[in-house]
């Protein structure tokens, strides 16, 4: 069955472009599109999609409607994925999106919309409970983090930081290994080491991964 998607974007041309682009993909079915927060929430209730693809800034205030929708959906439809689109690499919004957990959440720059493979990957990931953070946002967080001497990540080795950065983009051990040119066993050792250094040794692996990513993302000035 195709992944059912609702698209929320106040710019008509962008919205129609995304809808038409996704309409060419057999694994996705766009079941509705809208241009403001109220319409989005009403459409979600009516269609109950698998994934919501939403802009951050929409009417009525043009500030953080996408984040507010994502937070509301966490309570109303906990299994529903959200891919949030931003025109700018704004780490603060990524942090707000993931504040209550990273499962089923993705943060992408709008410029990625033209890359259908990357957009589909994000939709697939959140539909299955995974998470994706735009690499450019991760780069900015790394840059800011590196200027903070009190970061909890300062004790990680450069390789452990690379592994954690890949984890923050939603990759599993096999994906991290392929990206960094390591064996899966080596990736597992690095992850266990960084878990230990971040004092995340007493919980289930899935929870530790989420918490490690949140530590990574929050180690920056907001």
- Does the pTM exceed 0.85? no
221 pLDDT band, cuts 50/70/90, is very low
Cα 131 to Cα 74, 116, 135, 153, 210, distances in angstroms? 14, 17, 12, 21, 9
Residue 8 clears pLDDT 50, i.e. is over it: yes
pLDDT tens digit sequence for 56-111: 999 999 989 999 999 999 999 999 999 999 887 777 787 788 777 778 999 999 88
CB 221 within 8 A of CB 148: yes
Map out the domains of the chain with their CATH numbers: 3-133 (3.40.50.2300), 138-218 (3.40.50.2300)
Conformation bin of residue 181: beta by default, left when phi > 0, alpha when psi is -120 to 50: left
Cα 130 to Cα 11, 102, 192, 214, distances in angstroms? 28, 8, 20, 14
Cβ atoms within 10 Å of 47's Cβ, excluding its own: 14
């Amino acid at each position: 069955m195709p992944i059912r998607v609702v698209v929320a974007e106040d710019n008509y041309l962008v919205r129609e472009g995304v809808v038409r682009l996704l309409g060419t993909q057999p694994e996705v079915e766009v079941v509705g599109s809208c241009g403001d927060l109220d319409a989005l929430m009403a459409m979600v209730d009516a269609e109950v999609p698998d994934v919501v693809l939403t802009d951050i800034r929409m009417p009525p205030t043009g500030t953080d409607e996408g984040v507010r929708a994502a937070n509301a959906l966490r309570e109303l439809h906990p299994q529903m994925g959200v891919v949030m689109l931003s025109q700018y690499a704004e780490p603060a919004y990524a942090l707000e999106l993931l504040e209550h957990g990273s499962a089923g959440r993705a943060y992408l720059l709008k410029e990625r919309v033209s890359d259908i493979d990357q957009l589909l990957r994000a939709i697939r990931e959140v539909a299955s409970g995974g998470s994706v953070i735009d690499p450019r946002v991760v780069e900015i967080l790394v840059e800011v983090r590196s200027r903070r001497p009190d970061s909890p990540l300062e004790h990680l080795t450069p390789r452990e930081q690379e592994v954690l950065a890949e984890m923050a983009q939603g990759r599993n051990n096999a994906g991290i290994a392929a990206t960094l040119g390591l064996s899966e066993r080596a990736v597992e050792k690095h992850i266990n080491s960084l878990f230990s250094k971040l004092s995340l040794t007493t919980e289930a692996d899935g929870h530790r991964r989420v918490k490690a990513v949140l530590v990574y993302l929050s180690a920056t000035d907001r």
